[in-house]
Structures are given as C-alpha cells and as structure tokens.
A and B are shown apart, each in its own frame.
Chain A
Amino acid sequence: MEKDDLMLEQLANREYEFGFVTAIDMDISEVGLNEDTVRFISAKKNEPQWLLDWRMKGFKAFQKQEMPHWQNFKMPEIDFQSISYYAAPKQQAKYASLDEVDPELLRTFEKLGIPMSEQKQLAGVAVDVVFDSVSVTTTYKKHLNELGIIFCSISDAVKDHPELIQKYLGSVVPHTDNVFASLNTAVFSDGSFVYIPKGVRCPMELSTYFRINAENTGQFERTLIIADEDSYVSYLEGCTAPMRDENQLHAAVVELIAMKGAEIKYSTVQNWYPGDKEGKGGIFNFVTKRGACRGERAKISWTQVETGSAITWKYPSILLQGDYSSGEFYSVAVTNNMQIADTGTKIHHIGAHTKSRIISKGISAGQGQNSYRGLVQMGAKAAYARNFTQCDSLLIGDRCGAHTFPYIESKNNTATIEHEATTSKIGEDQVFYLNQRGIDAEQAIALIVNGYAKDVLNQLPMEFAVEAQKLLSLTLEGSVG
C-alpha cells in the first residue's frame, strides 16, 4: 500500500506538456451570447442567409434547453455569458505555402509535433489545422482534388459546396439534439469537411489538429464527413490547449455519413489541458459525435484515446440504418489527478443483420473518476442483429474510481447481445516483476497500461498509435518513485 501511495503522490506531480500560449494577434469577439453574437459570427464569415437562419434556430433551441443531469458527476456551473465565441488569428488570408504562415504559428505547430513538413507528405498525411476557430491551412489538397475528394474547412465548404452542406449539415446531429449541440449550431466557428466520392478509396489518412489558444474563448468546431457509396476514408483528429487557471469550454459536433458499402474510420487522440493537480483549470470537453450508416453494408468505427480535459462528456454513437451495416467503438479513457471522464457510446441497431462491437478501456489514477456509459438498442426491424461489448477498468492506486453504466434495450428477440466487464488493479507484484528485470517503475506502468489498452491502440493508424502510446505514458508519468 505504501508503494501505491507513493505512486499517487508522484502521479499528481505530473505536468501538462503542451501548456504554452502562442503570442499571435487575435481577432476576438466580445464576451457574451445573444442573437447579435450569432449574427456577428455569421457576418465575420460572410455566410449566406440560410446558414444564419440555421444558426438562429440552434440559438433558440439552446435557450430552451437544460443542462444534462444524468451523468455521473456534478455538472459545473458554466457561465455562457462570460465566454467569447469567436477568436481568429488576425492574419486571415489562406496561405499558398507554409513560408507565408506567421512563423510564431509554425513554431507552435512544431511544439505540438504537428506533421506539417515534407516528411509528413511522405508519410501520407494530409493535415487541416484549426487554430482557435479558423482553419489555417490545408495541405495536399491538390492530390486529393484529382480524385474528387473534398477536404477543406467547413467555411470553405459553405462557399464552394453549399449544396452538400445544406443537404447534410445537421442531418445526423439535429440542432435540437442537446444543449451543447444547439450551442455549437449557433456559434460554431469552423471545422473540417470531407467528401469522398463514390467508389473512391482515400489514399491517405486525413487529419485535423485543434488547439484552443486565446483566453476566455470557447472552441466550437464542427466536422462533417460524407463517404459516398463504396468509398473509404480514415480520419484523425488531435488536439491540445494551453494551461489556464480558468476552465474553457469545448463543445464540438462531429457528423459522419456512410452510404451503401462505404466505410469511415474516425480516430481521436484527445489531449486538451486537464487542469492542475488540485483540479484548477482545464478544458470542459462536451462533445456530440454521431455517425449514420445510411446504406447496406456501410461501416463506421470510432476509435478514441482520451487523455486530456478536466471533464470529458462524450458518447460517439452510431445509427445502423442499412441492413448488414456495422459499427465499432474502441475507447481508452485515462483520468488522473482530479480529471473526470463520462464517456461511452450509443449504438442503435435499426436495420436487419446489423453488427456492433464495443471495446472500452478505462484507466483511473490519482483521484480520477472514470465512467463508461453505453446504450445498445435493438429496434423492432433489427432481425438477427448482434452486439458484443467488452468494458474493462484499470485502477492505479486506491483513491480513484471506475464505474460502468451499460444499458440495453431490445425490441427484437432474434437479436443477440453479449456483455463482458472486468475491473483490475495494477498490482504491486506486476510492477515489481518488471523492476526485477531492470525496468523502472514508471516504464513498468507504461508497459502495463499500454498492454492493457492494446486492443484499442491497435485500431489506430500506425503513426497515431505510437503517439497515443507516448501520451498514455506521459499522462501517467511520474507515477512511481
């Protein structure tokens, strides 16, 4: 037990690595939220009337909604009037080449390890960077263009592909979905848009990095990905934020649409600032992510590695509408110090012969609280639908908590649902065994944790898997003496 205490002590001393602020001229709206704020944002972005109208609908819905109350933690007071809803680097033009980009910004990217260089092109990564609210640069567009793939910021898509945006934006996550989704509808700043045409296999990983930089701002990005019939795309999302004493709100919305025979793999490595060891500061991460398998044999998989944020509230879900469509959810969530994670998934089996698989790995250290919340729903028409859920919790020390809330609803007696759950503790004897082979305690914990999370990490694209592994180790760094 003594060793555990020591572990806890040291865990608490771990510092956030990405907590720097970039000194860049920002164009920031005044704090507060009303109809004028919404108009201001829309005007700043030169948006068409239909989009402003939609934002307004979102704002009205937001005003009527209540904060969710069912999660396994006390909802913090969020003063929506003290947040600034728009922040953009002043130099706003799009850059033809990286040389034109503010060097300070590039240095930030470097610190973040963002793959902006030639090497990355070799690695086959196309990157879209959303810095605070505006998408700064998109690389490798040309190559993608040739295949008919659209990969750009939502703002650009509004201008260049209004028909796609009008048809699909809000079609999976409606503007009334929940308070945070409504807020996002009203004030969303920017985000990424992807369209993969019929029969096209996107030849590279598409990737976006988000970073909150300015003080008192929230980040409300919106991502929309459409995979047309028989197409394939793998998309990666990463993020960081500087250290701040105040909490900052992140309320993103992601919508995925997979048509007949299409496949979307969406991977997230979430590393927002988690707050200090006393729980001061940190990002409130309230995110709505949902995908729809609209056609037969469509497939969507969510993979997430959640290591950051003071609070994570996030349930990437999947609507399995097409017959024989399938959905997967792979998650590793780590909570250390005072972090809270309430995360999981909802899978709605609507079509017949639909299949889903859920693998959730929670890791709690310090006084972290980790809840898995999942819903598997078998609709009346979901004949022979199948679900398998595995939900594991790993505890480090004895002041943290792990909780699971699996819900099952079945209206179809031909459906099968399997659920497995385990809770384990990193044993002092496991750490000692590795010590005895020359491996120090910190690395021992990293090995054990990565081993535990392997089934999920294996789902990430290679490059990201390595990064995620490092991040897991980093999050638990200083855990033992």
Chain B
Amino acid sequence: MLSIKNLHANIEGKEILKGINLEVKAGEVHAIMGPNGSGKSSLASVLAGRENYEVTEGEVWLDGKNLLDMKPEVRAREGVFLAFQYPVEIPGVSNINFLRTALSEIRTHRELPQLSAKEFLKMTKEKQALVEFEAKLANRSLNQGFSGGEKKRNEVFQLAMLEPKLSILDETDSGLDIDALRIVSNGINKLRSPDNAFILITHYQRLLEYIVPDFVHVLYNGQIVRSGTKELALELEEKGYDWLKEEFHGSESINKI
C-alpha cells in the first residue's frame, strides 16, 4: 500500500529526514518509536504534504500513485489520514459541518454517492459510539476549548468518519487517560481491516498492548535504525534508546574509516 524509498527532507534548510525506507502493506499495523526530535512527526508531515518541508530525495508511493506529486487535500482524498500530535483549534467552524464538508469532498473524489442528511447523521452516531465521543463536542467549534484528551479523541472520531486507507496516528495516545486509551484503542481495532493500514507513532509500549503491531521501527536522527516485531517495543521499554544510539554512532564512525 505505502512504499517509502530513501526519503530525504529538509525544513528551513536543515535536513530532518535522512533516507527513510518503509513498506506498509494493506492490513498491517506499524509502530514507529524513537527519541524526541528524531523526526517522527516530520515523517508524518511529509507524508501528509505539509509545504514547509522540502523533499530533497526519494519517493513515496501509495497504491501505485506518486504521493509526493499530490496536494495535501488530494492525498487526504486518496486515503491518507493524519491524526495530529497537536490538533489546531478553528473558532466558529462547527465540528460537524466541517466533517460534512470533508466527507463530501472525499466521497466526490472516490466517486461515491453523497450521503443524505439522515445517512450522515446515522453514520455520525455510529462512529461517535465507536470512540465514545460525546455528541455535545461534535456540535462545538472545531477543537476550540477542547481538553487535550478530547482533541485526541476527536482526531480518532474524524478518522472513523473519513474511512482512510492509511492512517498515521501521531502520539494519539499521549494525553488520553487510562480508560480513554482503552476505548480509543478498541475503536481502532474495530476499524482495522484487510484493506487499510495504520502507522502508530508512540512513545509508550502500553498502546501496543492494546493495538498489537505487526512491526515496530525505531526512528533516530532521521533514519530507521532498527525494525522488529512487538518484542522490540518491550526491549526499548526496558533499555531505553541509548544502546541503539551507541550502535548507530558506532556504525557511523566505522563508515567513516
């Protein structure tokens, strides 16, 4: 489904992604971990098409289409969804109207019939239930005055509504209380299908107990330095990142010889 080849990207002239390679197949869940500032959100931003990142090298393909050639809204319509680490507030724009607009754009692009008001409402109710998202929040202005956890839950509610192919969740677990984490994880598990895929960016092994990943990758200094299965996450929990950093810098110095 997603194929990232030797991806390099700069922000404000500084190289942040330094040759990322990643293959994600339909039906898979990949976890990306890594220390603060290693480039996880940057990778998510580049995939979503944020314009302040400049791709200097590499390719990204989504089901045979060149993702890097598409505008951000086209990527979204093609099925890329990013649950933001820091969702923005948009005053005066009602959550539900915004979703209606978004869904209508996406369905037009996918050549699906538009939903009637009734169908839309029905779908809203179902998806709200899935992540136990409070109806009163759906009618408020988009994220305005939402608590940290409410914002995160809203991201997953939107994910459920828009039915993407590839979902990238950037630290959606941080800020959620213990119950919310379980609820949201269950919701995501229900949304998993053989046709879609998830990339979970997280710092905590705990999330991966709820949503069991097929692969775990460690991003460090703009590169994937280690890939494994869910056992890798346990190992990281135990040992931290230092051993990987050392290994990485060791190999780097060997390369220099």
Q: For the complex, what is the distance from the CA of A452 to the CA of B94, rounded to whole Å?
A: 11
**Binary flags per residue of B60-74, CB closer than 8 Å to A gives 1, else 0:** 000000000001110
- Work out how many contacts link A and B, with CB atoms closer than 8 A: 83
User: A435 near B71 (CB under 8 angstroms)?
Assistant: yes
Within 8 Å by CB of A438, from B50, B51, B93, B105, lies: B105
> A438-B102, A443-B101 are known contacts. Are A430 and B90 too (CB-CB below 8 A)?
yes
CB neighbours of B98 from chain A (8 A): 434, 437, 439, 447
User: A427 near B88 (CB under 8 angstroms)?
Assistant: yes
Interface residues of B in 34-88 (CB under 8 A from A): 48-52, 71-73, 75-77, 81-82, 84, 87-88
Pick 11 A–B contacts, CB within 8 A, sort by A. Answer: A3-B52, A428-B52, A429-B88, A430-B90, A434-B90, A436-B75, A436-B81, A438-B77, A441-B73, A447-B101, A448-B92
Kindly provide the distance from the CB of A331 to the nearest chain B CB, expressed in whole angstroms. 16
CB neighbours of A427 from chain B (8 A): 88
> A436-B72, A437-B158, A438-B77 are known contacts. Are A454 and B92 too (CB-CB below 8 A)?
yes
User: A438 near B76 (CB under 8 angstroms)?
Assistant: yes
Q: Which range contains the number of B residues in contact with the other chain?
A: 20 to 34
A451 at the interface (CB under 8 A from B): yes
B interface residues with partner A (beta carbon < 8 Å): 48-52, 71-73, 75-77, 81-82, 84, 87-88, 90-94, 97-99, 101-103, 105-106, 109, 141-142, 158, 162
User: B50 near A447 (CB under 8 angstroms)?
Assistant: no
A95 at the interface (CB under 8 A from B): no
CB neighbours of A435 from chain B (8 A): 49, 71-73, 76
Q: For the complex, what is the distance from the CA of A435 to the CA of B82, rounded to whole Å?
A: 11
Kindly provide the distance from the CB of B35 to the nearest chain A CB, expressed in whole angstroms. 24
Interface residues of A in 406-444 (CB under 8 A from B): 427-430, 432-441, 443
Q: Which 9 A-B pairs have the closest CB atoms?
A: A451-B92, A451-B93, A435-B72, A437-B102, A438-B76, A438-B105, A454-B92, A438-B106, A435-B73
Q: For the complex, what is the distance from the CA of A452 to the CA of B91, rounded to whole Å?
A: 6
CB neighbours of A437 from chain B (8 A): 76, 98-99, 102, 158, 162
Residue of A nearest to B48 (CB): A436
6 further contact pairs, Cβ within 8 A, besides A436-B76, A443-B105, A448-B92: A435-B72, A436-B72, A437-B158, A440-B73, A440-B105, A441-B73
**Binary flags per residue of A52-68, CB closer than 8 Å to B gives 1, else 0:** 00000000000000000
Interface residues of A in 436-474 (CB under 8 A from B): 436-441, 443, 447-448, 450-455
User: A439 near B101 (CB under 8 angstroms)?
Assistant: yes
Residue of B nearest to A453 (CB): B92
Q: For the complex, what is the distance from the CA of A436 to the CA of B142, rounded to whole Å?
A: 14
Kindly provide the distance from the CB of A11 to the nearest chain B CB, expressed in whole angstroms. 17
CB neighbours of B81 from chain A (8 A): 436
User: B162 near A448 (CB under 8 angstroms)?
Assistant: no
Q: For the complex, what is the distance from the CA of A439 to the CA of B84, rounded to whole Å?
A: 16
Q: For the complex, what is the distance from the CA of A439 to the CA of B103, rounded to whole Å?
A: 9
Q: For the complex, what is the distance from the CA of A452 to the CA of B90, rounded to whole Å?
A: 9
> A437-B98, A438-B77, A438-B102 are known contacts. Are A432 and B72 too (CB-CB below 8 A)?
yes
Q: Which range contains the number of A residues in contact with the other chain?
A: 20 to 34
Kindly provide the distance from the CB of A55 to the nearest chain B CB, expressed in whole angstroms. 46
Within 8 Å by CB of B87, from A433, A447, A450, A452, lies: A433
Kindly provide the distance from the CB of B75 to the nearest chain A CB, expressed in whole angstroms. 8
Q: For the complex, what is the distance from the CA of A193 to the CA of B249, rounded to whole Å?
A: 84
CB neighbours of B93 from chain A (8 A): 447-448, 450-451
CB neighbours of A434 from chain B (8 A): 90, 98, 102
Q: For the complex, what is the distance from the CA of A453 to the CA of B91, rounded to whole Å?
A: 10
CB neighbours of A77 from chain B (8 A): none
Residue of B nearest to A437 (CB): B102
A163 at the interface (CB under 8 A from B): no
CB neighbours of A3 from chain B (8 A): 51-52
User: A439 near B73 (CB under 8 angstroms)?
Assistant: yes
A146 at the interface (CB under 8 A from B): no
A2 at the interface (CB under 8 A from B): yes
Q: For the complex, what is the distance from the CA of A436 to the CA of B94, rounded to whole Å?
A: 17
Q: For the complex, what is the distance from the CA of A439 to the CA of B87, rounded to whole Å?
A: 16
Kindly provide the distance from the CB of B77 to the nearest chain A CB, expressed in whole angstroms. 5
> A448-B90, A448-B93 are known contacts. Are A439 and B141 too (CB-CB below 8 A)?
no
CB neighbours of B76 from chain A (8 A): 435-438
> A430-B90, A447-B101, A452-B92 are known contacts. Are A438 and B82 too (CB-CB below 8 A)?
no
Within 8 Å by CB of B90, from A436, A440, A451, A453, lies: A451
CB neighbours of B51 from chain A (8 A): 2-3, 428, 432
Kindly provide the distance from the CB of A236 to the nearest chain B CB, expressed in whole angstroms. 23
Q: For the complex, what is the distance from the CA of A358 to the CA of B142, rounded to whole Å?
A: 25
